[in-house]
Amino acid sequence: MNDVVLIDWGGGNIGSVRYALDRLGARAVLSADADTIANAPRVILPGVGAAPPAMARLRELGLVDTIRTLQAPLLGICLGMQLLYEASEEGEVECLGLLPGRVSRLASAPGLRVPHMGWNRLEPLAPSPLLDGIDKGAWAYFVHGYVAPVTTDTLASTGHGARFASVAARGRCFGAQFHPERSAGTGQRLLANFLRMETA
């Protein structure tokens, strides 16, 4: 049986996420089949790109309701995390609605690089099995121009100008704005923690 299914909608980082899972010894498969995803013990929604075409592709594949009704742990990565929210300012698109809130463009300021690209620190805000073993101030690698708000669902925040949600969760739904597959020990630990989460 597979340990985790990666939703194969065309997200640019799917290959590197799968490789990171392979290094952890996980049995990971790529799939765009609704039944395979619905019956997976764990699901990852990877993503690099823009919210409107990503949501359009998920609708085209008939996967929106499948993702919304998953009973297994779900992890959204980068754009995949942003798609978990109700909507995105990027193209004013409706997203999956699994996390309350609206994704907005990262505000620019003098001397502040947007998109946010590079290493930055995680500031834990709430305990979670997803963050077990990840220290306060741990470094993670980011590439993004849009951000989710800091809310009661935020497990960790990061500052780039204003603070934004870098890890979030509600129920069995989790999100990481950074790229765990490019974040060395921090990312490896987060993925390992997700693989240990109990299935439905």
Residue 106 DSSP one-character state: P
In degrees and rounded to multiples of 5, residue 148 shows phi and psi of: -95, 150
Residue pair 12/45 in contact (Cβ under 8 Å)? The answer is no
78: annotated active-site residue: yes
Give the tens place of pLDDT for each residue, 67-99. 999 999 999 999 999 999 999 999 999 999 999
Q: Which of 89, 94, 181, 198 is the catalytic position?
A: 181
Helical segments of the chain, H only: 14-23, 34-38, 51-60, 64-68, 79-82, 184-195
pLDDT band with cut points at 50, 70 and 90 for residue 179:
very high
Structural domains in the chain? Answer: 4-195 (3.40.50.880)
160: annotated active-site residue: no
Residue pair 37/70 in contact (Cβ under 8 Å)? The answer is yes
Q: pTM (2 decimals)?
A: 0.96
pLDDT of the residue at 200: 59
pLDDT of the residue at 1: 56
Q: Which of 78, 95, 116, 160 is the catalytic position?
A: 78
Residue 50 has pLDDT above 80, yes or no: yes
179: annotated active-site residue: yes
